[in-house]
Amino acid sequence: MRKPKVTVAHSPDSDDAFMFYALAKGKVETHGYEFVHELNDIESLNLRAEEGIYDLTAISFHAYPYVRKHYRLMTCGSSIGDGYGPMIVAKRSLSVRDLDEVTIAVAGTMTTSYLALKLFCPGARTKVMPFDKIMEAVKKGEVDAGLLIHEGQLTWTDHQLHRVVDLGEWWSRETGLPLPLGGNALKRSLDKKATSAACDVMRDTVKYALEHRQEALDYAISFSRGLDRKRADKFIGMYVNDMTLDLGERGQDAVALLLRLGHEAGVIEELVEPEFVE
């Protein structure tokens, strides 16, 4: 008998590869379901989530208000910056005051990094481009500054760039909370059995990776876009940890605050309270 399918979408990044390793390689029980993976960049996943295409999908927390008619958030599988996060870099030394006068490349307007930028610098002018093209565009002078996500947070020094601000550091100083960047969302229309299975599988795949770190790292390294093993391990540790296994009360409070401040700043039209799968 053919197993019912659950579609799973996440980004082709080393941290996502690490946390989904056990599921991708059949290391965890799937409770009678076949989990079918699709990889895409986070802004594409945000846009597809607006249409409710996947059963379980990675999204930016900023995107949640726009996709909540289809999804609830999961407490497992989040990427949280606890005192660190997306950073603004430039080819020349810029002050924070200069940011109102320059154009900043961003990975997408539904990303949490974009929301954090707008909270930090409401008047910032932005230009959208693929996240993996931003650093090179800054280096070539095609844009004045760039908002780096993913591995760029570790590799910007290789390109002789100047760091203007780390938005995760700023958020931590302002709120005392971690910066919730990305999470997993689960389709509301799934029945109770499929919902329970998806939650169990998500928890088990993250738990397996954390308990079999070197094995999962061997798999994730091929998704690390040029990071050596030491830096890939560091990057994964930044975004796959105990808060990934369980967002907890502190993490859920941070999500709620992010969405409220986004609404108060006029970036998010509607005030939305995050709803998590129980």
Active site residues: 150
Cβ neighbour number for residue 38 with a 10 Å cutoff: 13
Residues 41-67 as b/e (b if ≥16 CB within 10 A, e otherwise) read: bbbebbbbbeebebbbbbbbbbbbbbb
Closest CA to 170 of 255, 104, 96: 96
Q: How far apart are the first and last CA of the chain?
A: 30
How far apart CA 194 and CA 95 sit, in angstroms, is 50
CA neighbor of 152 nearest in space, from 93, 239, 85, 220: 85
Helix (H, G, I), strand (E, B) or coil at 271: coil
Q: Is 117 exposed, middle or buried (0-12, 13-18, 19+ CB in 10 A)?
A: buried
- Distance (Å, whole) CA 59 – CA 68: 11
CA 185, 189, 192, 197 torsion-angle sign: negative
Other CB atoms within 10 A of residue 215 CB: 15
Burial, 176: exposed, middle or buried (Cβ in 10 Å; 0-12, 13-18, 19+)? exposed
Contact 18, 240 (CB under 8 A): yes
Tokens linked to 30: 């799937």
